[in-house]
Amino acid sequence: MLYRKLGKTGCEVSALGFGCMRFPIVGGASAVDLFNPNKPIDEKLAGEMIDTAIDHGINYFDTAYPYHGGQSEGFVGKTLKPHREKLFLATKLPTWLVHGRDDFERILGEQLTRLETDYLDFYLLHGLNRQAWASMKELGALDFLSRALAEGRIRYAGFSFHDDVKIFKEIVDSYDWAMCLIQYNYFDENYQAGKEGLAYAASRGLGVVVMEPLRGGRLVDRIPEEVQKLWDSAPVKRTPAEWALRWVWNHSEVAAALSGMSSMAQLIENIRIAEGASADALSESELQLITRVRESYQSMLQIGCTGCAYCMPCPQGVNIPLNFSLYNDTFMFKDEDLNLMLYNHMLTPEQKASNCAECGECEEHCPQQIKVPEELQKVHARLAQQADNAAT
């Protein structure tokens, strides 16, 4: 395993971090199930994966309050406890649950108990955007972080981010942050904080950890034929996951890339790739190839959903990530018959896009700032049109 310094902290973290949002679930899972408290983690398999990760040198583990319906922190805490002193543990304050100053202390105390530890290596304000940042400032989040740091309950303070680069820079300059967590992959090079934000944070001494390096698996699953032809044209043969991860690690500003791994096979592949995770290792021709792949994807993608399921649960029961996935698949993977069958025969009436009441609650939680009700109308119009065409 290769290690990189996490900004001004000087901490040597593994290039591959273990994202604890997508553990294997008993009976299998969809993206929505990752936030469902009634879908238990497959603790035997997930425990074996964590042990294997540690044995291969992964030392950075990232979880959060809502992952797996609140189960992730407790499982991670008891599983990492025997190894606690040699690992870096990160979790996040659920900013949307803070309504008063007392909530900061209550939630941190609950998380320390769940994680069976007296301190957190990294404590992040979760999912900052313009609105959440304004709320956190008003409620005194920065004073709270300073107290927790002084008392030793957290070693380093940071934030995860989903908004535009302008507000990102404002947040970076507003506090003595140790690190930040941003979405970054070859598809989203100029999205949210993007390349500009990555360079800006690094220039200010912040350690940068990357989430969604595979864009929620979208860059490795069911590769469109035109994209696969581009990969196959490369003189050096690599899997789509290897191309995507190596692109992220090619940036010297990136300390670690988080991967939410759901199987032992994914873990082993990512460990193999991470062993060659050197910065500035891709050639100019390889970077140009990745640019052509990005352009090919961009010509097909209709809705920028990563399947994170932060928009769930929908009060009306609409399965928002699944609807968006079916819609995008129709364009990206040219599998209209399958999507027609799934939408019209597998989804319940409540789960379909047509059941959206346009309440807008989902939009408040969407990290990608998708206009969800508007896009759901497009989903139904497209798939209903397919159904009409099929009927005739």
Could you read off the pLDDT of 56-71 as tens digits, one per residue? 999 999 999 999 989 9
Tell whether pTM > 0.85: no
> Residue 88 CA to chain centroid, in angstroms?
18
Alpha helices in the chain (DSSP H): 43-55, 71-80, 101-114, 130-139, 141-150, 165-172, 194-203, 225-232, 240-249, 264-274, 284-298, 320-332, 336-341, 361-365, 372-391
pLDDT band at 172 (very low <50, low <70, confident <90, very high): very high
Please tell me the predicted confidence (pLDDT) of residue 334. 61
pLDDT in tens, 357-370: 999 999 988 988 89
- Say if residue 305's pLDDT is above 50: yes
Please tell me the predicted confidence (pLDDT) of residue 32. 54
Q: Quick one: tokens of 252?
A: 């010297």
Please tell me the predicted confidence (pLDDT) of residue 306. 77
- Say if residue 139's pLDDT is above 90: yes
Please tell me the predicted confidence (pLDDT) of residue 389. 47
Q: Which domains does the chain have, with CATH numbers?
A: 3-297 (3.20.20.100), 320-391 (no CATH)
Share of the chain above pLDDT 90, in %: 73
Comparing 271 with 225, the larger pLDDT belongs to 271
